[in-house]
Amino acid sequence: MQDIINIKLEEYIPLKIIFNKDEEAVEYISYSKDKTSSLEFTVGIKSKLIKRITLLLCKEYSETTNKLVVENFEDRKIILHSDDVECSVFKTILYSNGARIILSDKNSSKYIKMDKVYFGLSDTDDIIEICVCDMSVSELEHLKKELELQ
């Protein structure tokens, strides 16, 4: 069964991706850099499956006219067992068709695909980056506007 994600446009929230709406108690795992950039995963307590990803802040971002293309990926669910992570690198790159959120200075060794979201993982399965492809013009405009306001 394929999860269909939903990108929700909310004022003051640059990016909110909802994976599934099943009722399960959740916990929150945050990836942040100083007090200037923050991303929150909402994860099912029992299943450890990602329910939501919310980009709350990102001080460092850039734009390119290139297309975001992710190759060599597996199509499966990702299970997240983690504590909060303080990142040394945290930046967002806006592409013509999506966004890449970089959470580490390491390189991704593999990608896991869930609908149009790709998780770049290290050899030890740490999340290195999140790529969101096939975003609509309104989703990209919302993301850019909210990042500019921060």
% of the chain exceeding 70 in pLDDT: 98
Q: Is the pLDDT of residue 1 over 50?
A: no
HSE at residue 54, side-chain half, CA atoms within 13 A, is 15
In angstroms, rounded to a whole number, what is the distance separating the alpha carbons of residues 115 and 108? 19
For the stretch 36-47, pLDDT in tens is 999 999 999 999
Question: pLDDT tens, 126-140?
Answer: 999 999 999 999 999
Has residue 96 got a pLDDT over 60?
yes
Closest Cα to residue 8, out of 45, 52, 41?
52
User: Is-contact 18 41, C-beta < 8 A?
Assistant: no
For 75-90, the pLDDT digits (tens) are 988 888 779 999 999 9
What's the rounded Cα separation, in Å, for the pair 103 and 54?
14
Task: Give the model's confidence band at 22: pLDDT under 50 very low, under 70 low, under 90 confident, else very high.
Answer: confident
- pLDDT tens-digit profile of 43-64? 999 999 999 999 999 999 999 9
Burial of 43 (0-12, 13-18, 19+ CB in 10 A): buried
pLDDT at 3 (0 to 100): 59
Q: Give DSSP secondary structure letters for 26-37.
A: EEEEEEEETTTE
Mean pLDDT of 91-98: 98
> Average pLDDT, stretch 107-118?
95
Instruction: Look up the pTM and report it.
Output: 0.95
Identify the band that residue 34 occupies on the pLDDT scale cut at 50, 70 and 90: very high
Domain extents in the chain: 6-149
Instruction: Please tell me the distance from the alpha carbon of residue 108 to that of residue 81, in angstroms, as a whole number.
Output: 18
